[in-house]
Amino acid sequence: MTSLRRRTAALIAAAGMLAGILLAGCSTIDPTTGPAPATSGSATGTVSTTPSPSATPVVEPAMTMTSQHVLTALLPTDTLNFTVANGAIADVAVATATGTAVPGTLTGRTWRPSRNLLPQTKYVATVTLTASDNTTRTRTQAFSTLKTTIADYDLLYTGFTVGVGMPAIIQFVHPVETPALRAEVVKHVTVTSSPKQEGSWGWIDNRQLMWRPKTYWKSGTTVTIAADLAGVQTGKDAWIAKDARGSFSIGAARISYVNIATHQLTVTENGKTVRTIPVTAGKEPDYTTRSGIKVIMQRYSHIIMDSTTVDIPKNSPDAYHLDVQYAMRLTWSGEFLHAAPWSVASQGVANVSHGCTGMSTANAKWLFDFSHAGDVVVYTGSNRQMTLSNGIGVWNASWSQWQALKSV
């Protein structure tokens, strides 16, 4: 047994030596340099170590924004223009400094607001740029519109029921100075009515713009005025800063007729005579009441009438200072319908007033309670004529004459 163990141990040792020799014969290792580098085809799956070229660096896009005027004093009509280097402009969004979005259109490198900007307002443009690698960048640029006179205006008689003769009226605080500026204003204002009626704008003077239908309004009509005037210029250094909306309703067709020569006032409603009232009108030749179509503008249960306001001095024998009841203004020059208890004896007989139409207190109260602003009063019988601008004189122009006033 001892001999057998010695022979077995010897065989095992011999086999180990042979395996070492075989392994040494298959090795590519140089004992002086270490293992050879692996290749892409090696069993280990490692990749070649040959370096790859570097990625091209992205140059950041640069943007410049300009306009027709300096960015701290743009006109409301200006556009935004962009110059971009190392990229392209993708989008422009504009808002006020308080965050209200401003609609507009980007065409090429020019952004144009959908409507004029507001004067004296701060804005921010947010610009999206595309870089050379098709990634995007955002840039912001602040700008503001010029400091200027703010031109104001009012829509008159909105919210009320008025008579069939009341036009839509836009009253400007300051003059709209030139025909071109007045024409631009007209482009931004509209009147709609239900039921629809044909009509047109006309300038009475450079502060009064009115829209009248071709004929008197139909009773029951609703009239709506839309003034999109924010950003519209009215003078060299004056711009409007607001839009406005308003509407009024048309009541019954109440039209009165005053015959100055016969001293009678006939009141009608929807074409039927309601009452005939004896009156006195202006004495000739200095105070003749005007013939023509007038519209009731204002109503006062009491008003102080002072002759100095119509250029009759205090020391004149015609001077007066009276507390008058139930007065309704027809002209800016001082013609009213009103109670005149001091002239009852002349009413229906003679014209003795300073141009007003006087009647008894009872008749004046009845007419006052019956009437609305906008009711029509037609005067005949004198050689002195009503004018377009002396009150609401729009009905004293023919339809063609009125249409021609749209662009004056």
3 state SS of 302? strand
Torsions phi, psi of 19, nearest 5?
A: -60, -40
Structure tokens at 353: 């007033």
Q: Is 26 a catalytic residue?
A: no
Q: CB burial class (10 A; 0-12, 13-18, 19+) of residue 20?
A: exposed
Active-site choice (263, 338, 354, 372): 338
Q: Is 263 a catalytic residue?
A: no
| First-to-final CA distance of the chain | 140
Contact yes or no for 376/293 (Cβ under 8 A): yes
What b-and-e string marks burial along 235-263, b requiring 16 or more CB atoms within 10 Å of the CB?
Answer: beebbbbeebebbbebbebbbbbbbbeeb
**Closest C-alpha among 181, 170, 156, 172 to residue 408:** 181
Active-site choice (69, 174, 321, 356): 356
Whole-number Å distance between alpha carbons of 279 and 269: 19
Q: Which residues are catalytic?
A: 338, 356
